[in-house]
Amino acid sequence: QKEVEQDPGPLSVPEGAIVSLNCTYSNSAFQYFMWYRQYSRKGPELLMYTYSSGNKEDGRFTAQVDKSSKYISLFIRDSQPSDSATYLCAMSEGTSYDKVIFGPGTSLSVIP
Amino acid sequence: DGGITQSPKYLFRKEGQNVTLSCEQNLNHDAMYWYRQDPGQGLRLIYYSQIVNDFQKGDIAEGYSVSREKKESFPLTVTSAQKNPTAFYLCASSMGDRNMKTQYFGPGTRLLVL
């Protein structure tokens, strides 16, 4: 079993839809959870960063962490064509050397 | 502008050739990282450095080498021993603080074999 799993998609939605992106993980020691957005042929950019369980909201984006289920989600409200990208989840234990484990990414297309 | 720069954007390697990818950051970050990205796979860690003049192997270090002579710079050399170098290479940096695990990425270098 991979340490972090993510449905690769592609996921295609109409503009204005609510998008749900998910990752599951196996290491219960993970405490820090991140979501990155990567446009084609570009480096990933940090979207959301959460510690431990709970929700965090930033504009149209909401990150949810359920440590009991080892499951994290990113919700995008009122999706826009500019949201079309690959979304990578990432997580780490938060120990002295912080190795970050990345999911393979979900490709999202928002159709106008 | 603060950020991470990588050069070149595209790099072509011939058989038996060593090539060096540049990574520079002006974020005053202590830690720097090199990742390799292949289609359908997560980012895989090649090398990382938490401080100047010190670096550690990641998960796929074979066929690669790095140096960290300056805080701002972390070049990666892809040696001829790396038999499958075609990939997208990403450099990242972070503050290295225990409570700040987020990494910031450069724009990447795409390496192709001739």
**Taking all residues of chain B, what is their mean pLDDT, rounded to a whole number?**
91
CB contact under 8 A, A43 and B42: no
Distances (CA, A) of B110 to A22, B20, B21: 28, 12, 10
Task: Tell whether the model's pLDDT for residue B97 goes beyond 80.
Answer: no
Which pLDDT value is given to residue B49?
93
Q: Which of A89, A98, A106 to mutate against chain B (most B CBs within 10 Å)? A: A98
Residue located via tokens 């040696």 = B79
User: What is the 3-state secondary structure of chain B?
Assistant: CCCEEEECCEEEECCCCCEEEEEEECCCCCEEEEEEECCCCCCEEEEEEEECCEEEECCCCCCEEECCCECCECCEEECCCCCCCCEEEEEEEECCCCCCCCCEECCCEEEEEC
Tell which residue, A72, A71, A56, A74, has the closest CA to residue A19.
A74
pLDDT band with cut points at 50, 70 and 90 for residue B114:
confident
Burial state string for A4-42 with b = 16 or more CB within 10 A and e = fewer than 16: bbbeeeeeebeeeeebebbbbbeeeebbbbbbbbbeeeb
Which residues of A touch chain B, with CB atoms under 8 Å apart?
4, 6, 8, 32, 34, 36, 41-46, 49, 88, 90, 92, 94, 96-105
Divide the 112 residues of chain A into consecutive groups of 10 and give the mean pLDDT of each group: 86 97 94 94 92 90 95 97 96 77 94 96
- Rounded to an integer, what distance in angstroms lies between the CA atom of residue B43 and that of residue A3? 13
Spell out where A1-112 has E strands: 4-6, 11-14, 19-25, 32-38, 45-51, 54-58, 61-66, 71-76, 85-92, 101-102, 106-111
- Hey, is the C-beta of B40 within 8 angstroms of any chain A C-beta? yes
CB contact under 8 A, B98 and A97: no
> Per residue in B15-62, pLDDT tens?
889 999 999 999 999 999 999 999 878 899 999 998 999 999 999 999
Which pLDDT value is given to residue B113?
86
Instruction: Give the closest-approach CA distance of A44 to chain B in angstroms.
Output: 6
Spatial contact of A39 and A19, defined as CB atoms under 8 Å apart: no
Q: For A2, which residue in chain B has the nearest alpha carbon?
A: B42
Which pLDDT value is given to residue A1?
67
Which pLDDT value is given to residue B111?
94
Contacts of A36 in chain B (CB under 8 A): 105
Residues 6+ apart with CB under 8 A from A57: A63
